[in-house]
Amino acid sequence: MSEDTSPETTGAYHWIGKNVTKPDALEKALGATEYVGDMVVPGMLHAKILWAGAPHGVIRNIDTKDAARVPGVAAVLTASDVPGTNRYGLAVPDQRALADDKVRSAGDALALVAAEDEEAAEEAVAKIKVDLEPLRPILTYEDALDPMAPAIHEGGNVFQHTTVRKGDLEKGIEESDVIVENAYHTHRMDHVPMEPEAGLAYVDPSGVLNILVGTQYPYRDRRQIAPALDLAMNKVRVIQAPIGGGFGRKDDITAEIHVGLLALKTRRPVRLVYTREESLIANTKRHPMAMNFRTGARKDGLLTFLDGDIYGDTGAGVSLGAYVIKKAGIHATGPYDVPNIRVDTYTLYTNNLVSGAMRGFGVMQAAVAHESQMDQLAHRLGMSPLEFRIKNCLKPGLASSTGQLMNEGCGIEATLQRIKDYMSAHDLRFNRPHA
C-alpha cells in the first residue's frame, strides 16, 4: 500500500488548522470601524418610520398634514410618493416599501419622515393620523388554511405546496414493528444581530443614488431597489458598509429603499438607524413551523418510513420562505436512510411578521422533529439512541430523500462514531435509560 500523503494525514493544509487573523479585526478592537449608524455626512437628515402596529386592515387614509408642519421636517412620504413599483421581495415582489392598499403585518411601514434631527422626525411620526379599517387577522396555520379566510395577497394564503415521494409508503408502514406519531411546533425567532438595521443614502453629482448599508448582498439589493424606485440599474449603487451581524436577515432589503426614497425626494443625505425595538418588530425572522410526523422502524432497528406534513408560516411576505420551507421537507428525514417517504410542505401567508433566511435555512426546524422521532423510536425499540442513529445514518452508497447518492457518505457516520468513542473513553451515558 502506498503511503498516505493526503493533507489530512500530513497536516500540510495551507489554511486549515492555522490561526488566521481577520484583516478588519484590529480596527474593530480599536473602536475605529464605522458602521452606518456611526457615520455622519454634512447636511444629513435623520429618518424615522411609522410602523403599522396592526396586523391586517384596509388603509382608508393617511393624514400627514400636521406631521409636515413640525419644525425641522424636510419630508413626510407615503406610498403615493413612491415613483416606482413600490414592491420588493427576494422570491416574488410581494412586499411594499410603503403599505398602499392594505396593511398586511404589524411590521409594515406606512410612512417615512426625514428631519433635521431625530427628535423632530419622531415628533412628526407621532402626528401622522392613520385611518385603518380592520380585517380579520390571519395569525395561525389553521387561519391560513381556512378557505373562508380573506386572502392576504391575490392568489390565496397557500403560496406553495411541495412534495417529497420515495419508495412505497404502504409497504413501509406494513413492514414496521414500531410507529411513533407526533406534532412538533417551532417558534418564530429574531436573529438579533447586535447592530440594528441602518442605512445612509445620498444622490451624488452624477445623479446616482448611493446607499450605504450593512447588507449581505449588495447586488441583489440593487435589483430590488431600482424597480421599486423607478431607477435604471446603473443609477443605484449599494455600498456594503461594515455589517454588525446578519445571520441571514440582512439578505433581505432592510433600510435601503426607505433611505433611498427619502434621499431622492429631499436631495439631501439621509440616515436611518433602527432602534432595537424596531429591529424586533420589522424585517425577517426565522420561520415558525408545525410538523406532523409519523415514522416507523423494524425490530432490527432499521427505519421503514416517514409520513409527514410541514406547515411554514412565512408571514406577510415570502422573502425566501418558499425555499426555506421546501428545504425543511427535503431534510425531513435528516441524515438517515429512509426507504419510503411521503412529505408535503406548505408555505403559508399570514399577517405575522415576514420570515426569511436564518442560519440553517429550514433544516433546523426539521431537525427538531426528526431527531425527536429518532429518540422515541430508539426508546421504543430498546436501543441506544446512538446505536440506532449509527445503524440508520446515510453511509456511502445510500441515497438521500431526493435520490442524491452519497458517494462518500455525508460525514455523519464518522461523527457519530467519534461521539461513541468519546463517550466510552469518558464513561458517559445517556441520561434516559432505554426501555
Partner 1 sequence: MRQRYALRVNGETRETEAEPHESLLDVLRENLRLTGSKKGCNEAECGSCTVLLNGRPVVSCLVLVPDAVGRDIVTIEALAGDGTPHPVQRQMVEQGGVQCGYCTPGMIMSAYALLQENPHPTDEEIRFAISGNICRCTGYGKIVKAVRAAAEEVGRAAS
By CB under 8 A, name the binding residues for partner 1: 19, 21-22, 24-26, 28-35, 37-38, 40, 191-196, 242-247, 275-276
| Bridge partners, residue 276, by sequence | none
Q: Smallest distance from the beta carbon of 34 to partner 1, in angstroms?
A: 7
425 interacts with, out of ligand FES, partner 1, none, CB within 5 to 8 A per kind:
none
Between 1 and 194, CB nearer to ligand FES: 194
Task: Tell the smallest beta-carbon distance from residue 354 to ligand FES (Å).
Answer: 23
Q: Using the minimum distance from each CB to partner 1, give the nearer residue, 31 or 403.
A: 31
Question: Angle at CA 303, nearest 5°, toward 418 and 141?
Answer: 100
- Return the number of the residue (245 or 397) whose C-beta is nearest ligand FES: 245
CB under 5 to 8 A by kind: which of ligand FES, partner 1, none does 26 bind? partner 1
Q: How far is the CB of 25 from ligand FES (least distance, A)?
A: 10
Cα–Cα dist 291/311, whole Å: 6
Select the residue whose beta carbon is closest to ligand FES and give its number: 194
Residue 24 or 117: the one with the smaller Cβ distance to ligand FES is 24
> Whose Cβ is closer to ligand FES: residue 270's or residue 272's?
272
In whole angstroms, the minimum distance from the beta carbon of 356 to partner 1 comes to 17
How near is the Cβ of 199 to partner 1 at its closest, in Å?
16
Residue from 245, 396, 397, 411 in contact with ligand FES (CB under 6 A): 245
CA distances from 24 to 18, 196, 218 (A): 18, 20, 19
Q: Which of residues 287-346 bind ligand FES (CB under 6 A)?
A: none
Rounded Cα distance between 299 and 383, Å, is 10
Does residue 277 touch ligand FES according to CB under 6 A? no
Binding-residue pattern over the window 164 to 203 for ligand FES, x denoting contact by CB under 6 A:
------------------------------x---------
Binding residues (CB under 6 A) for ligand FES: these are: 194, 245
